[in-house]
Structure 1
Amino acid sequence: MDQPSIEIVEVSPRDGLQNEATPFSTDEKVALIEGCLGAGLRRIEVASFVNPARVPQMADAEAVLARLSPAAFDGAIGLVLNERGLDRALATPLQEINYVVVVTETFSEKNQGASVEENLAMAANVTRRAREAGLRTSITVSAAFGCPYEGEVTPQQLYAIVDQVADLEPFEIAIADTIGVAVPRDVHERMQGVREIVGSRPIQLRCHFHNTRNTGLANAMAAVEEGVTVLDASLGGIGGCPFAPNATGNIPTEDLAYMLSRSGYHLGVDFARLFEVVDLLSQKLPNPVPGLLTRAGMFPALS
């Protein structure tokens, strides 16, 4: 019997690095991306087309893309937050972009300088233009479980946004716990509601969890139990949102891959090569990465 498959979207080159104070050179970013590719990670967030004054770590997006191998573009993803970002992405070989819609007004203004309504209108324009240019568009619904400024986010608030996003017909909708407040019960409830809203439309569902309160891996498994087959993760667990206070810590890719592989899912990941890339990050960053698998080692041990 074939193993069920889970796809990991590697976000360390974008979501991982954007909140790190340690600068990474263009060559180091390219080495990170190519290392992820060599470890079997096929979909990778490689760049963010945002204002370099606001996110300096992402200032060299075009330079990074210019140095990637052709194979990287089969699954490379670029983040865009407005039409200016889309214009930049369209001038590159990227075949996929990700747009972000925030559930709450205050965070939407902080993240993109626009109201939720304005952001949804922009998402419609970006999705349409990207489709006309032959690019796939995924839309991340951010602050889906809680907001750093407004507090609790109700399921009804989330569903109202997902309903409007689904009408734009992206190929994928990602539900993001941007500040790491969710617990598995929340994930079960909200993913069931999201799936009902999407209905029979050909929209893939994906989840993005932060491990801020040490619930990220449990939430990822809850999402899988609800039929989600695509999960975001970041090597070593690095990352966070610069515009969301205390939004630290993505799920460590290697820890997630270990949990899922031991649970009987096929990932296509080479753990030995994955460890090598985590080691590159560990040597560069001033503090140990949050991920635990590279400290404890595989079980059974890698031969």
Structure 2
Amino acid sequence: MPLPHRVKIVEVAPRDGLQNEKAFIDTAIKVELVDRLAAAGFQNVEAASFVSPRWVPQMADGAEVMARITRRPGTLYSALTPNLKGFEAARAAGVDEVVIFSAASEAFAQKNINCSIAESIARFEPVAQAAREAGIRLRGSISCALGCPYQGEVPASAAVDVARRFLALGCDEIDVADTIGVATPAKVRAVMDAVTQSVDPARIAAHFHDTYGQAVANIVAALETGITIVHSSVAGLGGCPYARGATGNVATEDVLYLLRGLDIDTGVDLDAVVDTGQWISAHLDRKSASRAGNALAAKRAA
């Protein structure tokens, strides 16, 4: 299949990228991060999470972040909502899209959300219904669709099953996630080909972590199967608290550099994203994990 002419990038750094940071990040920094990313041209920014502060203390200020950001017309601001209480808080905060989640691995579902896959989907039925009634976009995320830290291999049929369940709930978009970054292009092609036989590829997003340095290659493989939505995190921020050794999401700067080289339009300003990656990394007192971002920043400074 030929590569697409345009790809939508969902920028996940403000939520997925920052949620595991141990030191609390000032709300003003989170707000500026969201605003910088929206200004760079992203159509969709994952801005907050409405989970219990006991479980994810870093995301406790989600409502304040949503209240203080400068809304950019044409940008979808998403938030993770684990239950109806979280959904109601997200709706009150004015989010454009709510994200629900399950896993393709029974072992991961038990470790991550303390229930079976089927039970996790059932728990989200009231959230899905409430989202439909409120006219709020609904996205479903499938963790460990390409490998699990507890059970190892995950059959493509497991990802297909969860995707079908999310589709039945009314999800507008479904993320197929390599949560621990173990996939290689052949596995990506197999899983995406299987999932897109049941779900329109225009509604499937690829979410890759870069633990083994395969994320950029995996994105190309996903694009070759008809996928046109890709998740990434500026400066490669993020990880998974339930997957030992799992590094961050693929860096947005690296993805943009790849897509620019393939002559694929994203509508996103790479230079602005490089600046943002360097800025947030400085605030976190670490070097950016983006190879392209660091190289481009060094080239400009030379």
User: TM-score, with normalisation over the residues of structure 2?
Assistant: 0.93
Moved over 6 A (4+): none
Q: Which residue of 2 aligns with 1:147?
A: 148
Post-superposition offset of 1:254: 0.7
C-alpha distance in 1, partners of 2:74/2:149? 34
Q: Which residue of 2 aligns with 1:187?
A: 188
Q: Which residue of 1 aligns with 2:5?
A: 4
Structure 2 counterparts to residues 1-303 of structure 1, below 5 A? 4-71=5-72, 74-198=75-199, 204-297=203-296
C-alpha distance in 2, partners of 1:20/1:221? 29
C-alpha distance in 2, partners of 1:176/1:72? 28
Post-superposition offset of 1:240: 1.0
C-alpha distance in 2, partners of 1:168/1:41? 27
Contact 1:107 1:244 (8 Å CA) reproduced: no
Post-superposition offset of 1:42: 2.3
Contact 1:182 1:215 (8 Å CA) reproduced: yes
SS at match of 1:32: helix
Post-superposition offset of 1:87: 1.8
Post-superposition offset of 1:164: 2.0
Contact 2:105 2:144 (8 Å CA) reproduced: yes
Amino acid at match of 2:130: R
Amino acid at match of 1:245: R
CA 1:74–1:40 in structure 2 vs 1: closer, same or farther (change >3 Å)?
closer
* Aligned residues: CA RMSD: 2.0
Post-superposition offset of 1:75: 0.8
SS at match of 1:117: helix
Post-superposition offset of 1:23: 2.5
Amino acid at match of 1:150: Q
Post-superposition offset of 1:258: 0.6
C-alpha distance in 1, partners of 2:109/2:74? 29
C-alpha distance in 2, partners of 1:235/1:267? 15
Post-superposition offset of 1:301: 7.3
SS at match of 1:52: coil
C-alpha distance in 1, partners of 2:203/2:157? 21
SS at match of 1:193: helix
Q: Where does the alignment leave 5 or more consecutive residues of structure 1 unmatched?
A: none
C-alpha distance in 2, partners of 1:160/1:99? 16
Amino acid at match of 1:296: A
C-alpha distance in 1, partners of 2:208/2:12? 11
C-alpha distance in 2, partners of 1:186/1:163? 20
Contact 1:100 1:139 (8 Å CA) reproduced: yes
